[in-house]
Chains A and B, each alone.
Chain A
Amino acid sequence: KNEVEQSPQNLTAQEGEFITINCSYSVGISALHWLQQHPGGGIVSLFMLSSGKKKHGRLIATINIQEKHSSLHITASHPRDSAVYICAARTRNYGGSQGNLIFGKGTKLSVKP
């Protein structure tokens, strides 16, 4: 079983729809990252969360530490949101050393006009 699981693997939506992508993890974490990968391959960091909720424009990320679950929401989706969204768990930092990232397999989102 993967330590970081995302669902769904693929998602097709119509422009304007509200979108939710889920991420569950089984390891102890210090933070949870959401990343966006465009078709050309470049990756952009969207959010880093250790608790609660963050919002940036039409993107909202939430995390429930007790349930080991995070969600990424996109409101009023647009074709330019089409990309692969990746969740990554930063392992808990023991002994002062920086934990590394464990990545989910990604969710491929396609928003149709």
Chain B
Amino acid sequence: DGGITQSPKYLFRKEGQNVTLSCEQNLNHDAMYWYRQDPGQGLRLIYYSQIVNDFQKGDIAEGYSVSREKKESFPLTVTSAQKNPTAFYLCAAGGIYTQYFGPGTRLTVL
């Protein structure tokens, strides 16, 4: 079954804790992306990676970190430095013609 998996679907954390969101793809795409979605706003780019062992900051990278040790995996860590982490997080993979999105993780910080 091809595609992008994100886990977990819902995540609750206490304020001040770091949390890592998982994203795995078996589509064999070099490029992967992390987006954040807030109510009434468009998706905003957090980080992206064009190739293994390389990644670039997006528009709202502050308070987040990523790694890209394997082509299939692009985990996102939401650190305690992120001022307002409660949001819906979407991972995507793809090229210039299309992006394939995962089902998303809804993070709530209590």
Contacts and interface: CB of A to CB of B under 8 A. Distances in A.
Interface in A41-87: 41-45, 48, 86
A77 to B, nearest CB: 23
B98 A45 contact: yes
Given A42-B101, A45-B98, A105-B41, A100 B88 contact: no
A109 interface: no
Interface string B89-110: 0101001111111111010000
Interface in B33-62: 35, 40-45, 48, 50, 58
Interface residues of A, number: 26
B32 interface: no
Contact of A48 (B44, B45, B90, B98): B98
Given A31-B96, A98-B50, A4 B104 contact: no
Interface residues on B, range: 20 to 34
Nearest to A104: B42
Interface string B69-100: 00000000000000000001010100111111
Contact of A45 (B44, B58, B100, B104): B100
Interface of B: 31, 35, 40-45, 48, 50, 58, 88, 90, 92, 95-104, 106
20 contacts: A4-B42, A30-B96, A31-B97, A33-B99, A40-B103, A41-B88, A41-B106, A42-B103, A45-B100, A45-B101, A86-B42, A88-B42, A88-B43, A98-B31, A99-B96, A100-B45, A100-B58, A101-B99, A103-B44, A104-B42
Interface of A: 2, 4, 30-31, 33, 35, 40-45, 48, 86, 88, 90, 93, 98-106
